[in-house]
Homo-oligomer: A and B are copies of this chain.
Amino acid sequence: MHDQSDRQPLPCPFEKMFPSQLQRDGEFYMKLAYNLAIDAWRQDEVPIGAVIVYEGEVIAAAHNATQSTLDPTAHAEMLAITQAANAIGDWRLNGATLYVTKEPCPMCAGASIMARLTDVVFAVPDPKMGCLGGATPLHEVPGLNHRVTPHSGILERECRELLQAYFSLKRQSRDQN
């Protein structure tokens, strides 16, 4: 078993956002994802959040949970996709949009294709691990039987600050122990 003793719950210096329900645009949905990322931090998880929107309704909301579940597949996007399929009673999510605070990793980018999501909107691009254009455009592999369209840039600064602060404080905490 991997040593978990270096995991210290760190107080989160960021506050949740309270977007107006009157304007349900991309920024509104990304703020919901941001709030889930804050929830993740408060539970000592990497602060990444995701929501899935279908016909104007939020049908799924989740945050990263790999540490508490010890499950490498428990990324925010994966948990949200499972919830969304359950909500509409179909594993094909055509017409749905995933909002996530960071560009999806290889697994989650692949899942967004396999789940037949129509759009994926991410806040922070990830040139190292992001697979919707950052490290590689997985969605452009020719033989795939479904095309997902990536979008980026909404709430990028806020979501990046949250992630960078988390990893920076984690490193400081580790160095002091």
Contact = CB atoms under 8 A, between A and B. Distances in A.
Given A70-B90, A85-B72, A86-B71, A131 B135 contact: no
Interface string A106-135: 111111011110000000000111010001
Given A2-B90, A131-B138, A138-B138, A106 B71 contact: no
A72 B89 contact: no
Interface stretch (A19-27, A139-147, A162-170): A139-147
A93 interface: yes
Contacts of A145: 128-129
Interface string A41-74: 0000000000000000000000000110111110
A141 B128 CA distance: 9
Contacts of A89: 1-2, 70
8 contacts: A1-B90, A70-B89, A71-B82, A72-B85, A72-B93, A73-B111, A127-B143, A136-B138
A14 interface: no
Contact of A135 (B67, B82, B111, B141): B141
The 10 residue pairs across chains A and B that have the minimum distance between CB atoms: A106-B110, A107-B110, A128-B143, A72-B115, A72-B91, A1-B89, A2-B90, A107-B111, A110-B110, A107-B114
A126 B69 CA distance: 32
A91 B71 contact: yes
Interface string A138-159: 1001111100000000000000
Given A1-B89, A91-B71, A143-B135, A109 B111 contact: no
